[in-house]
Amino acid sequence: KNEVEQSPQNLTAQEGEFITINCSYSVGISALHWLQQHPGGGIVSLFMLSSGKKKHGRLIATINIQEKHSSLHITASHPRDSAVYICAVRFMNYGGSQGNLIFGKGTKLSVKP
């Protein structure tokens, strides 16, 4: 069964802390996405990964294909990082060439000043 699990569900941090959000999936994938959604807002794509590691500013995303696990890290967190972070996976056995995504339920991050 194609499943995506995220942890934690909710996360509260103090400004400046290092944050890690985790995503695990059940079977082989062709790509994994990390998405960000601010309250009341649309969704912004942060990263798309199929292997290794990507970095953009204070955000780092890693993926371990063998362990079927990805992490999103935020260094020196700031209140403006407060949002819901969503992991979405394109499974190899689902969606054919259209590559439909299966989404995790999201991690709600709140960074306090």
Which CB, 6 or 77, lies closer to another protein? 6
12-31: which residues touch another protein (CB under 8 A)?
30-31
Q: 48, 60, 65, 68: which one contacts another protein (CB under 8 A)?
A: 48
For 51-101, give the DSSP string. Answer: SEEEEETTEEEEEETTTTEEEEEESS--GGG-EEEEEEEEETTSSGGG--E
State the residues that interact with another protein by CB under 8 A. 30-31, 33, 35, 40-45, 48, 50, 86, 88, 90, 97-101, 103-106
